[in-house]
Amino acid sequence: MTRIVSTHSYRGGTGKSTITANLAYLLASEGARVGVVDTDILSPGIHVLFGMEPGSAHYTLNDYLWGRCTIDQAAVDVTAGAFPDGAPKGGSIHLLPSSMQTGEIARVLKEGFEVDLLNEGFHTLSQRLSLDYLLIDTHPGVNEETLLSIAISDTLLLVLRPDHQDYQGTAVTLELARRLDVPQLLLLVNKVLPAFDRRELSDRVSTVFRTPVAAVLPLNEDLVRLGSSGLLAALTPKNDYVSALRPVAQLVQA
């Protein structure tokens, strides 16, 4: 069985794509077969963390949604780039990018797409690639494909910053996720000043939202420096941010 893990936040720029990409790496490091889907069709980006140039993908999620290819034809094996010295036994990462072409993005805005096709595609992809995990990187806020991703998830990772706008939005999304009966709901607090008491913040956030906090991730200079140009977990495995994220890879396991 494939475990479906969605990463979401009410507001943008909270660190979803960075978390999803590094989590994919950590899970694959332990020998898992991991799929990563970019459902942020309106502003795709996670491919950048895997070193993919725009336009280099033969097919994208958009092609699948418009019936131009099968879902597995749009998946790109990015394992070699993530593990230049060789992947651990059994471990692999398969990325399903969204199109960066303006015309394709405009078409989604203008025509929308059949959301059911996404659901069908996720299941087909999971089966054809024998995935242990399917990680779904989402568009911020609440829209139809986000609701679908949340509804079909075994785990929802809800990312927030220590920011009052994020707090309010998180309450909204949590309520939605509860109504959709997501089996595992976890909060991740990101971009926390290293001077903050992380234990205290974690206790406070979990009490206020009545939801477990899986990680409190520090605001990290190396990530700023990297500017999404790679996977921090691969480059500096002992980095603070990576150490704080590592337990999440354990928590999402069945």
Ligand X SMILES: Nc1ncnc2c1ncn2[C@@H]1O[C@H](COP(=O)(O)OP(=O)(O)OP(=O)(O)O)[C@@H](O)[C@H]1O
Which residues contribute to the site for ligand X (CB under 6 A)?
9, 12-18, 40, 43, 45, 140, 190-191, 217, 219-220, 223-224, 227-228, 241
Which of ligand X, Mg ion, none does residue 8 bind to, with CB < 5 to 8 Å depending on kind? Answer: none
Could you tell me the smallest distance in angstroms from the CB atom of residue 147 to ligand X?
17
Q: Which CB, 40 or 132, lies closer to Mg ion?
A: 40
Q: How many residues does the chain have?
A: 254
* Shortest Å, Cβ 221 to ligand X: 7
**What CA–CA distances, in Å, run from 131 to 34, 56, 91, 108, 213?**
6, 23, 10, 27, 26
Query: CB of residue 123 vs Mg ion: minimum separation in angstroms?
Result: 23
Name the pairing type of β-strands 133-137 and 92-96: unpaired
Task: Quote the least distance from Cβ 74 to ligand X, whole Å.
Answer: 20
Between CA 146 and CA 153, with CA 60 as vertex, the angle to 5 degrees is: 30
∠ CA 115-119-125, nearest 5°, is 130
**Smallest gap from residue 192 Cβ to ligand X (A):** 8
Binding to Mg ion (CB under 5 A) within 139-198 occurs at none
User: Which helix (H) or strand (E) covers residue 101, if one does?
Assistant: none
For the bound state, the minimum distance from the C-beta of residue 11 to ligand X, rounded and expressed in Å, comes to: 7
Determine the Cα–Cα distance for residues 61 and 229; give it in Å rounded to an integer: 22
Which amino acid is it at 103? G
Choice between 104 and 166, CB closer to ligand X: 166
Bridge partners of 160, per DSSP, are: 189
Q: Which does 223 bind (CB under 5 to 8 A by kind): Mg ion, ligand X, none?
A: ligand X
Distance separating alpha carbons of residues 110 and 47, to the nearest angstrom: 24
Given Mg ion, ligand X, none, residue 219, with its beta carbon under 5 to 8 Å by kind, binds ligand X
Question: Which residue number is nearest to Mg ion in terms of Cβ?
Answer: 17
Give the per-residue contact string, 33-72, with Mg ion (x = CB under 5 A; - = no): ------------x---------------------------
Binding mask 1-20 for Mg ion (x = CB under 5 A): ---------------xx---
User: Dihedral of CA 26/221/47/36: which sign?
Assistant: positive
| Cβ within 8 Å of residue 164, ≥6 positions away | none
Give which of 38, 216, 186 is closest to 118, Cα–Cα: 38
In the complex with ligand X, which residue's Cβ is closer, 118 or 217?
Answer: 217
Write out the residues near Mg ion by the rule CB under 5 A: 16-17, 45
